[in-house]
C-alpha cells in the first residue's frame, strides 16, 4: 500500500478517486518545504524528505497558482498567499490591471528512497469572484478554461475529470504502472 503524505482527509478521498482503485494510507508529517518558484524542485525535496521520515514509499503533491496580474505570483507560495494575503486582494489587483488569467499546477511524485517519479498537471483558467465553498485554497476563485463554474462549484466528479491534481496523479499513475510499481 502506498502512503499519501497529507493532513487533509479530503485530499486522500480525491486522490483515491482519481487513481481509481489504488488504496492509500495517509500520514501527516511536518515536512520542511524548500522555498523555490520551481514547483518540481519543491515537490522533489518534499518527496525525498517524506520518504526519509516515513521509511516507506510515499506519494506527495504540491500546488502552484500563477496569477497573470501578479506576474505569475504566488506560484508555489500559494498556501502562504492564502493565509497572509488572501485571494480577494489578488482579485482586486486583477480588476485594476484588467488581467484575469490564471494557471493551476499540481506536481505529484512518488519516492521509495531510490526512485523518484514526477508528474505535473496544468489547467489554464481565470480568476473570478469567490463562488462556492471548498477546503482547497483557490478553488472558489478559479474558473478553468472553457467552464463557467469555479472548481469549488463543480461536483467532485466533474472537478476530478479536469483538475490539475487529477491530471498530475493520472500521469503519475500511468508512470508507476509502466514501471511496475503499482
User: Average of pLDDT values for 151-160?
Assistant: 90
Does pTM surpass 0.95?
no
* Banded model confidence at residue 67, pLDDT cuts 50, 70, 90: very high
Residue 45 CB neighbours (<10 A): 18
CATH fold of 2-178, please?
A: Maf protein (3.90.950)
Q: Is the pLDDT of residue 135 over 70?
A: no
The mean per-residue pLDDT over the stretch 137-149 comes to 94
Residue-wise pLDDT for 38-54, tens only, equals 999 999 999 999 999 99
In the chain, domain spans = 2-178
Alpha-carbon gap, residue 123 to 171, rounded angstroms: 14
Maximum distance among all Cα pairs of the chain, rounded to whole angstroms: 51
Amino acid at each position: 500500500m502506498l502512503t499519501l503524505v497529507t493532513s487533509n482527509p479530503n485530499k486522500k478521498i480525491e486522490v483515491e478517486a482519481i487513481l481509481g482503485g489504488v488504496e492509500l494510507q495517509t500520514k501527516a508529517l511536518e515536512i520542511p518545504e524548500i522555498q523555490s518558484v520551481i514547483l518540481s524542485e519543491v515537490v522533489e525535496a518534499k518527496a525525498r524528505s517524506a520518504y526519509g521520515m516515513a521509511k516507506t514509499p510515499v506519494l506527495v503533491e504540491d500546488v502552484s497558482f500563477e496569477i497573470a496580474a501578479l506576474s505569475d505570483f504566488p506560484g508555489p507560495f500559494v498556501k502562504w498567499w492564502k493565509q497572509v494575503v488572501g485571494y480577494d486582494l489578488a482579485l482586486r489587483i486583477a480588476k485594476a490591471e484588467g488581467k484575469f488569467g490564471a494557471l493551476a499546477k499540481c506536481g505529484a511524485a512518488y519516492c521509495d528512497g531510490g526512485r523518484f517519479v514526477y508528474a505535473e498537471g496544468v489547467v489554464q483558467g481565470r480568476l473570478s469572484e469567490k463562488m462556492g465553498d471548498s477546503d482547497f485554497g483557490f478553488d472558489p476563485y478559479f474558473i478553468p478554461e472553457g467552464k463557467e463554474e469555479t472548481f469549488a462549484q463543480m461536483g467532485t466528479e466533474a472537478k476530478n475529470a479536469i483538475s490539475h491534481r487529477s491530471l498530475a496523479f493520472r500521469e503519475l499513475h500511468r508512470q508507476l504502472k509502466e514501471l511496475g510499481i503499482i
